Structure 1
Amino acid sequence: MGATEPAWAVRVLAGLRGAAPGASAVALAVRRGPEHALLTTGDTAFRSGAPAGADTRFEIGSLTKTFTALLLAEMVARGEVAYDDPVSRFLPRAAAPHLRDTGITLLHLATHTSGLPRLPPGLLRTGAPAWFSNPYAGFSTAALHRALTRTRPRSAPGTRVRYSNYGVGLLGELLTRAAHGSADADFADLLADRVLTPLGLTSTSCATDQPQATGYWHGRARPLWQIPALPAAGAGRSSARDLLTTLDALLDPTAQPPTVPRTLRTALADVTRPRLVLPRTGRRIALIWNVRPRPGHDLYHHSGGTRGFTTFAGFSPQANVALTALANTGPAFTGTFIQRAYLELWALAHTESSRLRGEG
């Protein structure tokens, strides 16, 4: 962390560091109007790590889903798929007999309204022995295809929000099939080609063979997170710099350079359009992103976690504020780190929104 970082950003980092006592490293990237800051504290591992920096890779868990949403919107902009396409259009002929006539669409998968369970059938059984280290690692693509034949939706599509790693993981497989027409194609390559590389995200990928921080859970080092059958739901790695670049692109898609394809610029705008309103609370869901309306502005947010990492990202287009926070320790039961990151985003957006309205 440099001596010239703004005092308000240093204060935010100090609060986040205090909310992640089991981490050896915490990274923060934040925008407040024209100002932005990239700050880190600590080392990539206890005792043997190098100093963490803005390009240090952290496992981002379910934040991967926000990139999957961008891929979906980009493929819609290309005309390769449509939001109301039924999943049966892309499923292998022999798979998922209980899904074919349900009316589940790609949009249902991207808004957690498909009715699919949180996890595919069979994963709890195979993942139980490694539940506190790497529960998805032993669940193969073949196991996913077997699970599809046993899946029965828990509710009618579009009637209930039920968070589903299974659903978004399946979305990634269906998009890969739609783009390549083959079950042998790779989701990670498609995501890199259509989203990550055009946005200039040099530290972001699903790869496990690149340097990254060590993850910790209750002070113990965790193995590299692997999720081979459902990479679209949680296999991503990224850095504070790359995540702020992504949030900046979402804040203002029109400011993207000509090197960003038109379809991706369209996707950056489309992915933030609210698709449904939750009863009683008034909260909304865009493509993957949660949206909380506040006086004068909206807050978009999502979090992620693996056994050794906790991450948060959020932004407010009206207030021109964005914040992402990363820690190399597993999510606490109380959600302290994520709650702290959200509250810091809320405070920055509230202050900026009030200033822009002439109230401050």
Structure 2
Amino acid sequence: MSEHEIMTVRADSARAALAGTPHERLDAAVRAVDAPDVVFAMSVQGARTVRASPGAEGLRYETGSASKPYTGLLLAQLARTGHVAYEDSAAACFGPQPPPHVAPITLRHLITHTSGLPALPRDFYRQALPHWTTNPFAGYPAHRVVDAFLRARPRHRPGTRWHYSNFAVSALGHALSAATRTGWDALMEEQVLAPLGLTGTSTRPGGSATDAVGHAGDGVTEVPPLRIGGFMAAGAVRATPHDLLTFLEAHLRPERTPSLADALHAVRRPVLRRGIGKAHTHTLTWFQHPTDDGPAYFHCGATSGQQAFLGFCPGTGTAVAAVATRRFRRADAFVPAAYGVLFGD
């Protein structure tokens, strides 16, 4: 059974279990997830419903790879304003004369996982393995990501195959920073977070908000806050559930944020299909799933101690944000429950 078929079966099962009103569906989803802190939040035509374990709703959560839609939106905005172009050479962003052996990897290749780069740099694992269950990225800073990218030889010609890559999206973040001469945190704040009013969102731990405490797969062992090293663009975003809904609602109603409207529309357009029978559809930054009400868009993420799910369906005006403070494990209920809430009848 393919990945697509497995997730379809899980989503169908979750839909059956989560039938009912939004309140009932969210309550059932929270009960299904065994974690110290769980939040399922839903917006339907702008009306929000949030269900959470005690004290969890006001915390700020690590989103892991669900940060990538923020990076994709940033790229779309910078392309709209003329700071970069999708087909720009990523290596050229770091200087006028990139090494001659560097393949013509474009900014579009990096965000769509078609660059030919591996999931992580080859020299990443030696330093990461001793900290794999706590903070594997902390010891690999930005300059090493850039150096690894400029040395990398793609496994296949860029643009020909899809392979999910935290390395590629991280290199994209550094390329955008270099092209705009703006640090990553400031660039994300200026171009995405501030225009959307996301005051409960950050790319760093700490600050004024109370960060959720992550847990290992046993749901008991605490893990330290994520330190992302040089992989900010691939996984640095942390946010409150209400800020996650605000981010998703902006995708449902782009016209309400005029400065980002074109970019918000751009990240919804399909750009590639892959898999057997071209079953998987991707936009610039979202996974796309067909429904009876039109396409739905989603992205999942996980860190050493937390999980996140973001999804929205323009046809129904529905957005779902879910977070939990436990690292996923086999037969985990979190993602199927989130699927069920988003794709439920």
Provide the TM-score with structure 1 as the length reference.
0.84
Q: Which residue of 2 aligns with 1:45?
A: none
Letter in 2 for 1:82: A
One-letter amino acid of the counterpart of residue 138, structure 1: G
The answer as to whether partners of 1:61 and 1:304 remain within 8 angstroms in 2 is: yes
Instruction: Note the 1:1-360 alignment, pairs <5 A.
Output: 8-21=21-34, 23-33=35-45, 35-42=47-54, 51-53=55-57, 55-92=58-95, 98-99=101-102, 102-180=103-181, 185-210=182-207, 211-217=210-216, 218=218, 219-256=220-257, 261=259, 264-279=260-275, 280-347=277-344, 351=345
Does structure 1 conserve the Cα–Cα contact (< 8 Å) formed by 2:300 and 2:309? yes
Please, which runs of 5 or more residues in structure 2 have no aligned partner? Answer: 1-19
| Residues 103 and 310 (structure 1), Cα distance of their counterparts in 2 relative to 1, 3 Å cut | same
Does structure 1 retain, via aligned residues, the 8 Å contact 2:91–2:98?
no
- Cα deviation, residue 56, structure 1: 1.5
CA contact (8 A) 2:26 2:341 kept: no
Q: CA deviation at 1:253?
A: 0.4
Q: How much does 1:276 deviate?
A: 1.2
CA contact (8 A) 2:307 2:328 kept: yes
CA shift, 1:66, in A, is: 0.6
1:130-155 per-position Cα deviation (integer Å, ceiling 9, x unaligned): 00110001111232233234411112
Contact kept in structure 1, 2:115 and 2:168, CA below 8 Å: yes
- Cα offset, 1:10, TM superposition: 3.0
State, as a whole percentage, how many aligned pairs show the same letter. 36
The change in CA–CA distance for 1:76 and 1:94 in structure 2 (over 3 A counts) is closer
Give the Cα–Cα distance (whole angstroms) in 1 for the partners of residues 284 and 73 of structure 2: 8
| TM-score normalised by structure 2 residue count | 0.88
Query: Once the 2 structures are TM-superposed, how far is the Cα of residue 300 of structure 1 from its aligned partner?
Result: 0.4
Distance 1:295 1:125 in 2: 47
CA drift of 1:95 comes to 6.4
Q: Secondary structure at the match of 2:26?
A: helix
Letter in 1 for 2:175: L
Structure-2 separation of matches of 1:96 and 1:342: 44
- Cα separation, partners in 2 of 1:110 and 1:335, compared to 1, 3 Å: farther
CA contact (8 A) 1:121 1:150 kept: no
Q: One-letter code of the match for 1:265?
A: A
State how many pairs are aligned: 321
Q: Helix, strand or coil for the counterpart of 1:301?
A: strand
- Residue type matched to 1:201 in 2? L
Q: SS at the partner of 1:322?
A: strand
Output one character per residue of 1:316-336: Cα deviation in whole Å (capped at 9) or x when no partner: 111211111000111223342
Check whether the contact 1:31–1:323 (CA below 8 A) recurs between aligned residues: yes
- Which residue of 1 is the match for residue 16 of structure 2? none
State the AA in 2 paired with 1:87.
A
Q: Which one has more relative contact order, counting CA pairs under 8 Å at least 6 apart?
A: 2
Offset at residue 209 of structure 1 (A): 2.1
Deviation of 1:92 after TM superposition, in Å, equals 4.1
Measured after TM superposition, the shift of residue 96 of structure 1 is 5.7
CA distance in 2: counterparts of 1:95 and 1:120, whole angstroms: 19
The structure-2 alpha-carbon separation of the partners of 1:321 and 1:288, relative to structure 1 and needing over 3 Å to count, comes to: same
- CA 1:149–1:195 in 2, change beyond 3 Å: closer, same or farther? closer
Query: Which one-letter code corresponds to 1:126 in the other structure?
Result: Q
* C-alpha distance in structure 1 between counterparts of 2:169 and 2:321, whole Å: 22
1:10 and 1:332 map into 2 onto residues whose CA distance is 27
Kept after mapping to 2: 8 A contact 1:221/1:308 = yes
The answer for the alignment partner of 2:10 in structure 1 is none
One-letter amino acid matched to 1:278: R
How far apart are residue 94 of structure 1 and its match? 7.7
**Gap runs ≥5 in structure 1:** 1-6, 43-50, 352-360
Once the two structures are TM-superposed, the CA of residue 227 in structure 1 deviates from its matched residue by: 0.9
Distance 1:97 1:13, change over 3 A: farther
Q: Give me the whole-angstrom Cα distance separating, in 1, the residues matched to 2:146 and 2:128.
A: 16
